[in-house]
Structure 1
Amino acid sequence: MARRFAALTTAHVADACVRAGVTVRCAPSALRAVTPGSRVAGRVLPARHVGSVDVFLEAYETARPDDVLVVDNGGRLDEACVGDLAVLEAQAAGVAGVVIWGLHRDTADIRAIGLPVFSTGALPTGPLSLRERPADALTSATVGDWTVSAADLVFADDDGVLFAPADRADELLTLAETIRDTERRQAERIRAGHTLRAQVGFDAYLAKRRETPTLTFRDHLRAVGGAIEE
């Protein structure tokens, strides 16, 4: 799965979700790579942070190769919950990357480690208090509007972070590859002087729409086999 995603983007996977009728679960746009150009894909390894690093260490005990630690710190902006030691230990445990619904610190050291880390930003201070640990601290994590678990995959790159059901992985990646290949062919033809408008018969669409005002561009694209949306 990680190998196939290496030749894709989160945009391809998001479009595949739309085409397959799977809910598109994007993390809030503030969640970005600590090191631009980072990318990761893997099974969600959830951890709800309550003020202590031990929840991460316990998650690493059950980590499978290429899992991605997904840290839920409630999107807090008053404390960082992941630092260089937690990231270095993730790397030692075989974890493929870290996604944080919250802040990180030790930016320079994290970049030097080289493990893909995504967060909403950086702050010097670590956890400010120790809070009560919920029963589901290691079974689910909430990121923005979405609650995810080991039944989900996470994909992340420069466009952001996306979650998808693990049991639909092959279908979604196959669709994403088809979308990528179609877009590449269209891009190559644009560079060769054949505009996208010509490729999709845009003038014909405008003519048909004058006759049938309810005709949508997506309906037209489906008819001509030139889908660039959905």
Structure 2
Amino acid sequence: MGNDDIVERLRDIGTSTLSDALDRIGLPGAVPGIVPFDARLRLCGRAFTGQYEPVDDTGGTVGDYIDDVAPGEIVVLNNQGRLDCTVWGDILTYVSSSRGVGGTVIDGVCRDVRPSLQLDYPVFARGRSMQTGKDRVRLADTGRPVLLGEVTVAPGDIVVGDADGVVVLAAAEAERVLAVAAEIDEAEDRIRQSVAAGSRLDAARAATGYHRLQTPGSRP
């Protein structure tokens, strides 16, 4: 997708800080329960969305959409949190890794976990299972808003994932969230520096307004 300044500036901001920033602004975006298979790996990029639904007697497939995903984009799949069938496996991991896709986030489960670990390809999901989604679910649509838990993800929204989980930043709000997150990071850095210089933790926290950093309407 070329140079994407806001995505680049978000790469080094942790999901914990972004979640606190979302709380202070009063926006949704933190997604409980979706975690990485490899906690060393991060993802940050614009969302490419896919919606799954149960298959019926008219048939349908799990989809051949991966060729439409641009390098750097994050594949976001809503399989309605199902734990009994997967919508991602080793072939998709291999193709995505080889083409520079930024990672995959699934409201559901993934199989063939080992290749994602071997290729350092970030996959975030609610768990893992060997059971295929073929003949159980089908791809209903791509390129429309989907849900991760209770958080809506529209195409082009920014998805950030790290060892603590996943947050979603609406494209129109990303700059504002980043600005608040930077303030929070700066305040927490001042706490660490004060403690390193010999200050008591409670005094350092009081000086930076630590307990109100995430409170709606507050400022450090």
Alpha-carbon distance, 1:167 to partner: 1.6
The structure with more strand, counted as a fraction of residues: 2
Alpha-carbon distance, 1:148 to partner: 1.4
> Is this contact kept in 2: 1:72–1:102, CA < 8 A?
yes
- Matching residue's letter, 1:58: Y
> Is this contact kept in 2: 1:47–1:59, CA < 8 A?
no
TM-score, L = length of structure 1: 0.78
Equivalents in 1 of 2:67, 2:25: separation in Å? 33
Equivalents in 1 of 2:213, 2:31: separation in Å? 23
1:39 correspondence with 2:42:
yes
Alpha-carbon distance, 1:128 to partner: 5.0
> Is this contact kept in 1: 2:85–2:136, CA < 8 A?
no
> Is this contact kept in 2: 1:60–1:93, CA < 8 A?
no
> Is this contact kept in 2: 1:45–1:59, CA < 8 A?
no
Equivalents in 1 of 2:67, 2:151: separation in Å? 22
Cross-structure match for 1:121: 127
Q: Aligned to 1:229, which of 209, 214, 217?
A: 214
Q: For 1:129-172, what per-residue CA distance to the aligned partner results, in whole angstroms no more than 9, with x for missing partners?
A: 254653x4431222111231114211111111111111222221
Cross-structure match for 1:27: 31
1:95 correspondence with 2:101:
yes
Cross-structure match for 1:166: 171
Q: For 1:62-91, what per-residue CA distance to the aligned partner results, in whole angstroms no more than 9, with x for missing partners?
A: x33311000111111111221011122222
Aligned residues: 204
> Is this contact kept in 1: 2:71–2:102, CA < 8 A?
yes
Equivalents in 2 of 1:166, 1:32: separation in Å? 22
TM-score, L = length of structure 2: 0.82
Cross-structure match for 2:58: none
CA spacing shift, 1:186–1:128, aligned 2, 3 Å: same
Equivalents in 1 of 2:71, 2:134: separation in Å? 32
Equivalents in 2 of 1:168, 1:45: separation in Å? 18
> Is this contact kept in 2: 1:87–1:115, CA < 8 A?
yes
Larger radius of gyration: 1
Unaligned runs of 5+ in 2: 1-5, 56-60, 216-220
1:58 correspondence with 2:39:
no
> Is this contact kept in 2: 1:33–1:158, CA < 8 A?
yes
Higher RCO (C-alpha 8 Å, min separation 6): 2
Alpha-carbon distance, 1:59 to partner: 5.0
Cross-structure match for 1:73: 79
Equivalents in 1 of 2:123, 2:8: separation in Å? 18
The structure with more helix, counted as a fraction of residues: 1
Percent identical = 26
Equivalents in 2 of 1:196, 1:228: separation in Å? 16
Equivalents in 1 of 2:211, 2:148: separation in Å? 34
- Matching residue's letter, 2:113: T
